[in-house]
Amino acid sequence: MNVRALSTPWLMALLLASGVAVAAAGAAVGRAAPALTVPQLDGAEFDLARQRGKVVILNYWATWCSPCRAEMPVLEAFYRRHRAEGLVLLGVSVDDAHDRAAVAQLMRQFSYPAALAGSARSDGFGPPLAVPTTYVIDAVGVVRARLMSGSAVTEQTLEKVVLPLLPPAPGSARASGSR
């Protein structure tokens, strides 16, 4: 078998099936986030390196993944409440390129941008071992959390992980020290 001819997802599946341990590519909690440059569905380019100074949530998902779809309204509500505080959210769909229309149709329900992982110019995060997988990156570019399907994204999880990373909005309860 010509291993070079295998695409990365096929190679990972083969390695997992054969019992070989596979580490997630380049995105370790507590370390600098790897590169991610990808065109969004709206045509704008997302470059993680240009997001310094902002807290970034990267949510790897798929249209066929029911836990992913269940998390999306939670992410949307959290994003709407905190984007003015410097929160950036990008949904990174692992769907195939030929499913772009289905991805775009689903994303019409949400205000946060999305991209197809397969269109990335660089993606040091690599294909996720499972979806949903959500990364939280702080304002200096360090991965602070990786939430996978076993630790689903909830309002409480986002408040615990993301809120401490955001600067308090003027006049907010967090700015005045009460919570």
Instruction: Give me the active site residues, please.
Output: 65, 68
Please name which of 81, 97, 86 lies closest in space to residue 41, comparing C-alpha atoms: 97
CB 24 within 8 A of CB 30: no
Q: Of 139, 130, 134, 122, which is closest to residue 34 (Cα–Cα)? A: 122
* Residue found under tokens 């599946």: 13
Query: 137 by DSSP, 3-state: which?
Result: strand
Q: Would you state the structure tokens that stand for residue 125, as one six-digit string?
A: 């995060």
State how far the Cα of 64 lies from the Cα of 86, in Å rounded to an integer.
30
